[in-house]
Amino acid sequence: MCGVFGIHGHDEAANIAYLGMHALQHRGQESAGLVAADEGKLRRHVAMGLVSDAFNRDVLAKLPGTTAIGHVRYSTAGSSELRNAQPFLFEYAGGSVSIAHNGNLVNAGELRAELEAQGSIFQTSSDTEVIVHLMAKAPQPDIVGKLVHALKRVRGAYSLILLTSDGKMIGVRDPNGFRPLVLGRLKDAYVLSSETCSFDLIEGDLLREVEPGEIVIVEKGGMTSQKLPEIAERTFCVFEHVYFARPDSLVNGKSVYRAREKMGMKLAQEAPVEADVVIPVPDSGVPAAVGYAKESGIPFELGLIRSHYVGRTFIEPQDSIRHFGVRLKLSPVRSVVDGKRVVVVDDSLVRGTTSRKIVKMLRNAGAKEVHLRISAPPTTHPCYYGIDTPTRSELVAASHTIDEINTYVTSDSLSYLSHEGMMQAVGSANEKTGQGYCSACFTGKYPVQLGTDQLVTLRRARV
Ligand code: AMP
């Protein structure tokens, strides 16, 4: 769970990258970083926290140059600390290179052990650093050759943006295309980003998505493209549509908002209920609740209000205030739910703790009945391709039936969207071969062979 952004050929590269990262803030709030290239010199600033905390005018003024790349981080591999903040910047025999990564490499543990046995010294606990070491060791003289050489060894999910001291910005997406990466223009400059919402903010134009397995190289003379040698079937992460991407973004050329609305409509067809009001769990449940209300004809209302001032990184410090948890973030609107039969729509149910608290909160505010509707199938398996999900033993749907979960969260009824319904809502991600999605978190079918570390944890959870 991270966001990457890059701009090449703009007088205010760092300022634009700052804005681009701001639009990607939902993809990671733990750390933010930016590297800018100015006449062969790469300068870097990274800090913990939000983009607006990590950067100010003075910091941005110290990052001159016409090319810059940025990163917002939510750790899936490696702990949350400054040394793991990206973009990384490293020196090799041919100059300096910076790298920003969204995704998760499944064989990073094995590769790291191999590289360390050969004498490599790692500075971070991030999987991304493996790519850096493989590049440094590659025999090819040019940076693109080194990158291709390194990527032959890694498996998993990566949307990368690199910046070189000789003025190249390189974007690359893994052959399966797990994570998004789009290419656009801002006047004469080229821009790369995890999501199109950042182009809207900077008033740039979307050209196209970077294809799975494609490398785009932007330099002074323009842009060129080439393919990684490995070919795979597209398996774009369906959870980007369900929860992760911003609703105003287009992913795979499709509106995230509309896909979520359709999920809600399908859910209303599959799991109708007699009720007085449909309310979303804000913010992520809003488009699906709109769809549920439209399809069912039950009025849509805002029955839960979200505080936007509780950071995701909020650490509940003392026992005395810990139990306020969800209530700090969400509060019920009594005038909407009092005496009503309420349908609550959320995008996903992971551990079940949020839903349980929400149901209790709504009943305390006077709701007569609470029917929980989840606009995705039960989350039964962890993601190893870049979404932060807990281990299998913590996923309530991995070991409980829907009836048992309904009892646990104390709702009057609970239904999930079927896998088929979700797939119909998102449509095809690959016109040639059909669906083209990874939905391993709902099915356990992992499209790229897992590494030994992940197989061990999965096996342990089954015992
Ligand atoms: P839980 O209490 O674990 O069942 O959490 C469910 C809530 O977490 C839902 O409201 C989801 O929108 C949200 N959610 C789902 N996946 C994630 C994720 N990977 N990171 C953060 N929040 C998530």
- 11 pLDDT higher than 70: yes
pLDDT of 80 reads: 75
The residue assigned the tokens 């007085």 is 276
Q: Which of 312, 327, 346, 350 to mutate to test the pocket of ligand 1 (most atoms within 8 A of CB)?
A: 350
Residues in CB range of 14: below 8 A, 6 or more apart: 34, 36, 60, 63, 64, 65, 68
Per the model's pLDDT, the better-predicted residue between 325 and 286 turns out to be 286
Distance (Å, whole) CA 334 – CA 9: 53
Q: What is the mean pLDDT of residues 361-367?
A: 98
Per-residue buried b or exposed e for 190-228, using 16+ beta carbons within 10 Å of the residue's own CB: bbbbbbbbbbbbbebebeebbbbbbbbbbbeeeeeeeeb
- 322 pLDDT higher than 60: no
Closest ligand 1 atom to 239 CA: 16
pLDDT of 431 reads: 63
Residues in CB range of 345: below 8 A, 6 or more apart: 264, 267, 278, 279, 280, 281, 285, 288, 289, 292, 373, 374, 375
- 76 pLDDT band (50/70/90 cuts)? low
Six token digits for residue 381: 């398996």
Considering the chain, what percentage of its residues have pLDDT values greater than 70? 94
Q: What is the mean pLDDT of residues 326-353?
A: 94
- 77 pLDDT band (50/70/90 cuts)? low
Distance (Å, whole) CA 288 – CA 294: 10
HSE-CB of 182 using CA atoms within 13 angstroms: 25
φ and ψ at 289, to 5 degrees? -65, -35
Distance (Å, whole) CA 190 – CA 76: 29
Closest ligand 1 atom to 352 CA: 4
Per the model's pLDDT, the better-predicted residue between 417 and 452 turns out to be 417
- Residue 63 CB neighbour total at 10 angstroms: 22
Residue type, 183: L
CATH 2.60.120.330 fits 255-308+323-429, yes or no: no
Catalytic residue among 2, 197, 383, 441: 2
Q: Is the dihedral of CA 383, 388, 393, 396 positive or negative?
A: negative
Helices (H), 66-193: 108-117, 128-137, 143-151
Six token digits for residue 305: 């209000």
> Measured in angstroms, how far is the CA atom of residue 231 from the centroid of ligand 1?
33
Considering the chain, what percentage of its residues have pLDDT values greater than 90? 85
User: Measuring from atom 11 of ligand 1, which residue has the nearest CA?
Assistant: 348
pLDDT of 81 reads: 85
Q: What is the mean pLDDT of residues 299-325?
A: 71
pLDDT of 314 reads: 45
Closest ligand 1 atom to 356 CA: 2
- 239 pLDDT higher than 80: yes
> Measured in angstroms, how far is the CA atom of residue 451 from the centroid of ligand 1?
25
- Residue 36 CB neighbour total at 10 angstroms: 26
pLDDT of 310 reads: 73
Distance (Å, whole) CA 229 – CA 151: 10
Distance (Å, whole) CA 90 – CA 316: 36
Helices (H), 365-437: 396-399, 402-409, 419-426
> Measured in angstroms, how far is the CA atom of residue 349 from the centroid of ligand 1?
6
pLDDT of 460 reads: 64
Closest ligand 1 atom to 394 CA: 3
- 92 pLDDT higher than 90: no
For residue range 373-400, list pLDDT tens digits in order: 999 999 999 999 999 888 888 899 999 9
Residue type, 79: S
Q: What is the mean pLDDT of residues 401-419?
A: 97
Is-contact 132 99, C-beta < 8 A?
yes
Which residues have CB under 6 Å of ligand 1?
243, 281, 284, 346-355, 387-389
- 117 pLDDT higher than 70: yes
User: Measuring from atom 14 of ligand 1, which residue has the nearest CA?
Assistant: 348
pLDDT of 463 reads: 41
Q: What is the mean pLDDT of residues 36-56?
A: 95
Q: What is the mean pLDDT of residues 286-305?
A: 98
- 298 pLDDT higher than 80: yes
Q: Per DSSP, which regions of 307-421 are E strands?
A: 330-332, 341-346, 369-374, 413-416
Q: What is the mean pLDDT of residues 303-321?
A: 67
Q: What is the mean pLDDT of residues 258-276?
A: 98
- 139 pLDDT band (50/70/90 cuts)? very high
Six token digits for residue 163: 């910046």
What top-level class would CATH report for the domain 2-232? alpha beta
Domain boundaries, the chain: 2-232, 255-308+323-429
pLDDT of 347 reads: 97
- State the Cα angle at 350 between 359 and 427, rounded to 5°: 105
- 330 pLDDT higher than 50: yes
pLDDT of 235 reads: 96
Per the model's pLDDT, the better-predicted residue between 199 and 329 turns out to be 199
- 232 pLDDT band (50/70/90 cuts)? very high
Least confident window among 178-192, 247-261, 303-317, 325-339: 303-317
Distance (Å, whole) CA 199 – CA 206: 7
- 94 pLDDT higher than 90: no
Q: Mean pLDDT across the chain, nearest whole number?
A: 93
> Measured in angstroms, how far is the CA atom of residue 9 from the centroid of ligand 1?
39
Active-site residue flag, 237: no
User: Measuring from atom 20 of ligand 1, which residue has the nearest CA?
Assistant: 388
> Measured in angstroms, how far is the CA atom of residue 348 from the centroid of ligand 1?
6
Per the model's pLDDT, the better-predicted residue between 431 and 137 turns out to be 137
Three-class SS state of 90: strand
Q: Per DSSP, which regions of 1-114 are E strands?
A: 2-8, 31-38, 41-48, 67-73, 88-92, 95-105
